[in-house]
Structure 1
């Protein structure tokens, strides 16, 4: 009888233990976190390092905020960063690494347009949505690629806005383009030429340069001889600063213009007196009175002890667009996530109220025409991209 009762006791203990284990597993299954993995590609070293570092800081800040405030609902955001040095080959390799090793559900990148064009091949083949918060090259959204979106302002709109302002406000009748020889620069050169024709400005010179060049005097002398009243640069801040300095040395009187690719405080630091009065486009100014901008700047400065650059603001907004999309889709599957991003509406973010057209361009952006005064950029005129 004793053995019988002992066996019953053992059976009951095993049953209780098994029930406890099953309950633990069940609870574990109920608490499994829904995860969205974000891969980020950008230049954290090299000539565009300030742009890539600003992008990284803003993205990390946005991810931390969203997770803390459950801004993506039940979804937790995880972020993985890769440095592409602004090199298209390295960028495509970094993108592939994020997809294969990190299992990223969505890619933010890159900043250099040539790098984004390379990355798009990888993400399109994999069927993974990609948003570039920094690349402005017009060709990016002209390829019928349903997987690409952009939260930077298309170069075509920037070129038209700059040339129109130069003609109608400053009275410039003769202009020259001075552009990088890469995809970004040459796309800009074509768009500037088209804008010059559209607004009746004579294009008198179209020299180019290679990234990393140090001597721009031969091209500047040609521009000076042709009588250009405005020089429209299309490249990044390092070369733009050198061009401005050498133009000053050669006593070139033409007004200098630039696009958002050079909109970094490093331009002012490197260019000094030579870049004072330079007019360029961007989507963000830290001194804005807009409440969303003030809140973002305060948080960014508190965290990093510096003002955010436009590329940071655009990247920050991009994470919030992704968080909103995964919350609405309630899925990290590529098609569901892509469709949710495409239907973005009703968000009021730092750089505008995002809305994507059929090509993937954000047409809810504010484009700012700014000028350099002292150690900062000042607003000249704001233009909406949907006008």
Structure 2
């Protein structure tokens, strides 16, 4: 089954949505969707971006008549990037707020806690940010993801590093959390298959600001390239400090380096870095163009991958709700039936395990912009 969000009336709906802002309060003629993400703390840049995309999409759905006349009502919960808080938020949304579906969250640790709560309650969970492969590969029937996971991202990056950049000796510096550890592990495994040597593999804790010790352990090894698998704040500091230490090798990274915050922190040191690019506006055609224009007009900035995937997540939820708005198994089955869709992030779909089927693209940072180098 193929669903399309690129309808002719899409632009008109967004214009109307600028007038009709979602969230008029609780009513019987609404369908409630829970959204869990960090809206405070260091990782809030991801949660806020995701929330903005979600709000814009809900506005468009409601401006178009909602779901059989029922408006989407968003219920937000701040998990502050804490996995225990995330699980508590999921329970509150399901058992007190009576949401029919949960979207979230950002960190894989928190998302895995949320999915356990949702699985037990038979409430679908759709993540538009978390990339740990196990989220959709451990047998949970109510878990779905609408972006490419770390297996796809890290494997593609390793292939590009070997076949295109011809890097033979790479050092890895990664966050010690599930996101960083998984990305580093997948990259190293694929690199070994392709004959690339990993000369060093160093973990750092989230929140670290001085990476001199980590980088000094790598510098004497003189690697051809440096893979960083972490979030924007730490990754930006690593790149800047590496250049200050005279380390000039090519830099590689995952989608944690996709936000503008990475470019802001790294500055000119980011130039030339190659990163995974889950959102290429060119792939979404006119639908993506309309989304970007409305996003800029509403929030005063360009949307990133997290906003775009949040936007698509709401439209996926709305598509499933149009097939069945019944809570539990029927809604889960309606979501699972979406084998393909056209979103602002391009053509995607769910496989049998609820995982995104879309391939990932890569981009090189040039002139402070992400310029696609694959999938064009």
Give TM-score scaled by structure 2 length: 0.89
Structure 1 runs, 4 residues or longer, greater than 4 Å off: 286-289
**Which residue does the alignment assign to 1:24?**
none
Task: Please show how residues 89-238 of structure 1 align to structure 2 within 5 Å.
Answer: 89-238=84-233
Gaps of 5+ in 2: 1-26
For the aligned residue pairs, the C-alpha RMSD in angstroms reads 1.7
Gaps of 5+ in 1: 1-31
Larger relative contact order (CA 8 Å, sep ≥ 6)? 2
**Which residue does the alignment assign to 1:338?**
332
Matched residues, number: 350
- 2:74, 2:63 → 1: CA distance? 14
- 2:119, 2:283 → 1: CA distance? 37
Q: Aligned-pair distance for 1:342? A: 0.5
Q: Aligned-pair distance for 1:345? A: 4.0
Q: Work out which of the residue numbers 291, 296, 299 in structure 1 matches 2:291.
A: 296
**Which residue does the alignment assign to 2:364?**
371
- Alignment deviations for residues 293-315 of structure 1 (CA, whole Å, 9 cap, x no partner): 11110111111111001001001
- 1:321, 1:64 → 2: CA distance? 14
Q: Aligned-pair distance for 1:49? A: 1.3
Structure with the greater alpha carbon radius of gyration? 1
Partner of 1:41: helix, strand, or coil?
strand
Partner of 1:188: helix, strand, or coil?
helix
CA, structure 1 residues 87+378, in 2 after alignment: closer, same or farther (shift >3 Å)? same
Is 2:373 aligned against 1:380?
Answer: yes
Q: Work out which of the residue numbers 334, 337, 345 in structure 2 matches 1:351.
A: 345
- Alignment deviations for residues 43-91 of structure 1 (CA, whole Å, 9 cap, x no partner): 1121211111111111111111101102533332111111112111121
- 1:346, 1:147 → 2: CA distance? 18
**Which residue does the alignment assign to 1:61?**
56
Work out whether residues 178 and 208 of structure 1, in 8 Å CA contact, stay in contact via their aligned partners in 2. Answer: yes
Give TM-score scaled by structure 1 length: 0.87
- 1:315, 1:148 → 2: CA distance? 16
Q: Aligned-pair distance for 1:346? A: 5.0
Work out whether residues 45 and 83 of structure 1, in 8 Å CA contact, stay in contact via their aligned partners in 2. Answer: yes
Work out whether residues 339 and 351 of structure 2, in 8 Å CA contact, stay in contact via their aligned partners in 1. Answer: no
